[in-house]
Amino acid sequence: MALRNIVTVDTDRTSVLRKKTRIVEKFDERLKELAADMIETMHEANGVGLAAPQVGILRRMFVMNVDPEEGDLVIINPEIIDPEGADVAYEGCLSVPQMYGQVKRPTRLKLKYQDLQGEVQEIEAEGLKARCICHETDHINGIMFTDKIIGELIHESKLIEDEAKRDPKSSEQDLKPDSVEIIEEN
C-alpha cells in the first residue's frame, strides 16, 4: 500500500476533478492495490470518502468509511437507485481543503455497484452514508460539491466558530467539523 497525492482545486491538476470517469472492466490485482492505496490515503487525510479522480485516476470507483462497525467499502461502477427525501447539511471535500458548504442531498437511497471481485452488490443507505455516496458519485461524474452549494463556501474556522455560538457548552474537541455532520472527503 502507498499513500496517493490528493488532487486539490489549487493545483494545476484540478482539471482531472472535472472529467467523467471510465467504467471499470478489469477486476485484477492492480485494482485491488489502487483500492488499498485509496483507503490508506482516505484514512491518513481523515476523510470519510475518496473518489478515484481525487488521486488522478479516471475510473468509476470510490472508497468510503462512515461507519466504523461496517468498515471500509470499495464501490465500483456505482448506480444510485430510488433516492428519497431531502436534507441540507454541510459538506467538505479533501480536494477543497478546509472549506465547507451546505448541499441538498437525498436522505435515503439504494446503491447498486460492483465489489473488488466484480460481483454486483446492492445496499441501502441513509443519513451520512447516503450523503457520502452522492458526494463521491458526483466526483466520478466530474461534479464537485461546490457546484451544488446553497449559499457560500465557508472556512472550517468559521464553521467551528458558528457552532460554538449555537452551543457554548461544547468543548473545542466537540466542535471539530467532523462532529457536525460534514463530509470530509470526499
Task: State the Cα–Cα distance between residues 136 and 51, nearest whole angstrom.
Answer: 6
Going by C-alpha positions, the residue among 30, 76, 65, 82 that lies closest to residue 183 is: 65
Q: For 11-89, where are the alpha helices, taking DSSP H only?
A: 29-44
Task: State the Cα–Cα distance between residues 152 and 173, nearest whole angstrom.
Answer: 25
* Spatial contact of 134 and 110, defined as CB atoms under 8 Å apart: no
Per the structure block, which three cell numbers stand in for 18?
Answer: 472535472
Task: State the Cα–Cα distance between residues 54 and 136, nearest whole angstrom.
Answer: 10
**3-state class of 143 per DSSP?**
coil
* Spatial contact of 47 and 185, defined as CB atoms under 8 Å apart: yes
- Write down the catalytic residue from 136, 163, 184, 185: 136
- How many CB atoms within 10 Å of residue 23? 10
Whether residue 136 lies in the annotated active site: yes
Residue linked to cell 490528493: 6
Task: State the Cα–Cα distance between residues 83 and 109, nearest whole angstrom.
Answer: 4
Catalytic residues: 136
